[in-house]
A and B are shown apart, each in its own frame.
Chain A
Amino acid sequence: MRLAGTVRVFAAASLTAAFQRMASAFEKAHPGVAVELNFAGSQTLVQQIQEGAPADVFASADETNMQKLVASGEIAGTPQLFAHNALQIVVAAGNPKHIGGLADLAKPGLTITLCGPTVPCGRYAGEAFGKAVLAVPAASQELDVKAVVTKVALGEADAGIVYVTDVRAAGSTVEGVDIPAASNVVARYPIAPLKSAPNPATAAAFVAFVLSPEGQKGLATFGFLPR
């Protein structure tokens, strides 16, 4: 099948680097197709789509936000999980505050930034603190996961909770401290074409590409876990 036109992909901020690579691989596989990417917190993307922003594909960092679009009838078919992710504590390179785990975040005198409670990474962080029975006061509730990384990279915050993939994407300015499986949370990433997609064939092809062995391999190189 010969595909053409533009496919507009609204993807969670944590997918930024992985989907940029995904888009160029898809464009290479289908000459004549252009991928437009829009990254933001999943909750922001849901709002944009509900307010009528033209989108063909939605890739969310959690099922809650995907479910909102299913409920409002914007999704074509059934969303499919395409990746998993784990949480990690992001700290400045060299870990100057010697943060060894979640419990250390509750120590006084530390500045901790988290995602806001409506942002997927914020909700996941809340779940992780719940499992570890910890109350960690946040200095700021950022609007997407990249903002948390930025605050730590700039040195304004001592630590934050982000995805493993964000720490990896941020390079050498920050490093990650693992959260043991017992209190970690598995982030589930669903993807689906939108009913209003102006270009349904290309939208379906992009989703299929993400789920394909090639797409999955690409995600794995950025640290995402297989679906």
Chain B
Amino acid sequence: MTSGVARMRRSRREGVPLLALVVAAAGAAVFVLPLIGLLWRGFGSDVWEALTAPAVRTALWLSLVCSLSATGFAVVFGLPLAWVQARAQFPGRTLLRGITMLPIVLPPVVGGVALLLAFGRRGLLGQWLDEYLGLRLPFTTAGAVLAEAFVATPFFILTVEGALRSVDRRLEDAARTLGAGRWTVFRRVTIPLIRPSLQAGAVLCWARALGEFGATITFAGNFPGRTQTIPLAVYLALETNPEAGIVLSLILLGISLAVLVGLRQRWWSVL
């Protein structure tokens, strides 16, 4: 105990070794310099002109629609899935959890290929959708939403499942003993308890959906107004109109910063 305290005091007095400081600074530069580069080139350009260009407005609007729809998907399907994964006992639960988390680490292009093989016109389910319902997802906005939802929903599930696991079950039990039904308990006790996580998960999921590129272009293709979301527009604009590409990048950067600031209490205090 005493020696532990002494060690802590000593380490505080010693400070950070110079070598670590230098290497850390080089590491930080990797994160800081691209940010400065974007701001440096971005503020030289006419932001307003780029923002009002019809192509940019179309991409912005489409991105908003797709990312919000993907977040809607995440809430509608992800919440029950998170609940099942957190609470239900069944064989294969670990496997299910692994599979629903996979898109977080999976390269998005691979995700896009996998989506094609499942929901494409020749895909596992896609061929039936096409034949019996005339429903085709590739090259449609619905396809872009599906690609974004595939990549982003795991972030919602991960956040909410963690929260559901840490809920004090005695509060739910108490409500049950007082005569509340399971649905009432879920709605009136569980949901309020996990509300901060629901919000954080939804925001995180939305931000990831907004930035989705690889799965979208692979599965949904690229067409202005239909599947060309901002990240795709940024990539293409760099080839024709770099100024617009940089301004669009700045917009995405601004949104990302806002998300980070919005979530700071949840994350920065924990870390």
Tell me if A118 and B236 are in contact (CB < 8 A). yes
Q: Is the CB of A43 within 8 A of B221?
A: no
Whether B239 and A44, one on each chain, are in contact in the complex, defined by CB atoms closer than 8 angstroms, is yes
Contact (Cβ within 8 A) B221 A118: no
Bitwise interface map of A from 137 to 158 toward B, beta carbon under 8 Å scored 1, else 0? 0111111000000010011110
Inter-chain pairs besides A116-B222, A140-B223, 16 sampled, C-beta below 8 Å: A41-B239, A43-B240, A44-B239, A111-B139, A118-B239, A118-B240, A140-B221, A140-B227, A141-B221, A141-B222, A143-B217, A143-B236, A154-B116, A154-B122, A156-B122, A156-B139
Q: Which of A155-212 contact B (CB under 8 A)?
A: 155-157
Interfacial chain B residues near A46, Cβ < 8 Å: 239
- Chain B residues in 8 Å Cβ range of A113: 139, 221
Q: Which 8 A-B pairs have the closest CB atoms?
A: A140-B221, A139-B139, A155-B122, A43-B239, A156-B138, A47-B239, A140-B139, A140-B223
Residues of A within 8 A of B228 (CB): 141
Query: Please, which residue of chain A has its CB at the minimum distance from the CB of B221?
Result: A140
Q: Provide the B230-271 mask, 1 if CB < 8 A to any CB of A, else 0.
A: 000001101110100000000000000000000000000000
Number of interface residues of A (CB under 8 A): 20
A–B Cβ pairs within 8 angstroms, 17 of them: A43-B239, A44-B239, A46-B239, A47-B238, A47-B242, A111-B139, A138-B223, A139-B223, A140-B139, A140-B221, A141-B221, A141-B228, A143-B217, A156-B120, A156-B121, A156-B138, A157-B139
The B contact surface, by secondary structure, is loop
Among residues of A, the one whose C-beta sits closest to the C-beta of B137 is A156
- Complex CA gap A113/B122 in Å reads 16
Q: In the complex, what distance in Å separates the CA atom of A49 from the CA atom of B239?
A: 11
Q: Please, how many angstroms separate the alpha-carbon atoms of A151 and B122 in the complex?
A: 11
Contact A154 B120 (CB under 8 A): yes
Tell me which of B120, B138, B220, B242 has the highest count of chain A C-beta atoms within 10 A of its own C-beta.
B138
In chain A, what residue has the closest Cβ to B220?
A140
